Structure 1
Amino acid sequence: MDTRDFRNCLGSFATGVTVVTCKTDIGTRGFTANSFTSVSLDPPLILVSVDRKIKACSYMKDNSFAVNILRGDQEKVALHFAGRPQEQLDLQWEEGEFAPYLANSLATIECVPWRAYDGGDHVLYLGEVKNYWYVEGDALGFYKGKFFTVPSLKSTSE
């Protein structure tokens, strides 16, 4: 199978953009991830798929973490945590009860480790949700290798 072409095919699925953050022996670390999904409401579980080749994969092992869902205007934050440092980026950190998180995200979900599974060239980390909060606003999306803004939609039943 042509892995580049398969990756292009998967890029046809529009996703949101997150930065996953955790505390390590060498300080607070984070990485950009769009392989994030809800798993269960009872118990409350989410999943993050992490490439085995990146350093962050080892940071996640048996470690609490926060998933920061990015706002539509946070493309530079996404790029920074994807390994493309952004000059003069003013990151504001908060210390959560379970993990450090980025202030001013659209939503934040704090988790403790639940399970980790082999996912081929990735590790699938499931986290049990302990805290979460969110605000209304536009989200950052990713489609076919490009960022875009997902406009906030108000409920029509209000």
Structure 2
Amino acid sequence: MDFKLLRQAFGKFPTGVTVVTWFDDVGINGITVNSFTSVSLEPPLALISIDKKANSYEQLQNKPFTINVLADDQEAIAWQFAGRPQEELDISWNKEGDSPSIAGASGYFKCKHWKQYDAGDHVLFVGEITEFDRRSGDSLTFFEGKMGSTEMYKSQEVQ
């Protein structure tokens, strides 16, 4: 199987962009994730998928975490946590609770570890949502390797 073509095929599915954050021994850590989905309302569960080769895989073991749904003006934050340092980026944090959240995000879901599952070269982390919030505005999206905004998906009013 041609894995490069497979990745491109997956890229045809537009996704939201999240940064998963947690506290570590030094302070705040995080990783950009677009493999995120709701799982259940009762109990409230959300899922993220992390590559086993990522440092975050080991660091997230049994830790509370926050899934930050980035706003469309937070692309630099997405690149920062995807391993592309953004010079002079200043991130405002909410450090209350068991895991940090990014100020100005479209929404966030604070989670405590619920279960995790082996999934090939990734691990699926399922978190039980303990707190969440959302705000109005457009969210950041990822499509065919490019960042964008949910604004482009809005249609005009049907007459």
* TM-score band, normalised by shorter chain: over 0.9
* TM-score normalised by length of structure 2: 0.93
1:75 is displaced (CA, Å) by 0.8
Please list the CA deviations of residues 22-81 of structure 1 after superposition, one character each: whole Å capped at 9, or x if unmatched: 011232100100000000000000000001111111111100000000001111110000
Aligned partner of residue 137 in structure 1, secondary structure: coil
Question: Gaps spanning 5+ residues in structure 2: where?
Answer: none
Question: Gaps spanning 5+ residues in structure 1: where?
Answer: none
Same amino acid, percent of matched pairs:
44
Matches within 5 A, 1:115-126: 115-126=115-126
> In 2, distance between residues paired with 1:37 and 1:59?
21
Of Structure 1 and Structure 2, the greater strand share is in 1
Identify the residue that residue 35 of structure 2 maps to in structure 1.
35
> In 1, distance between residues paired with 2:91 and 2:148?
21
Aligned partner of residue 46 in structure 1, secondary structure: strand
1:30 partner amino acid? G
Check whether the contact 1:96–1:110 (CA below 8 A) recurs between aligned residues: no
Would you identify which runs of 4 or more consecutive aligned residues in structure 1 move more than 4 Å?
none
Identify the residue that residue 142 of structure 2 maps to in structure 1.
142
Matches within 5 A, 1:71-150: 71-150=71-150
1:97 is displaced (CA, Å) by 1.6
2:102 partner amino acid? L
Aligned partner of residue 37 in structure 2, secondary structure: strand
Matches within 5 A, 1:31-70: 31-70=31-70
2:84 partner amino acid? R
Aligned partner of residue 108 in structure 2, secondary structure: strand
> In 1, distance between residues paired with 2:87 and 2:23?
23
1:2 partner amino acid? D
Please list the CA deviations of residues 56-115 of structure 1 after superposition, one character each: whole Å capped at 9, or x if unmatched: 111111000000000011111100000000011111111132211111111011000000
Root mean square deviation of aligned Cα: 1.5
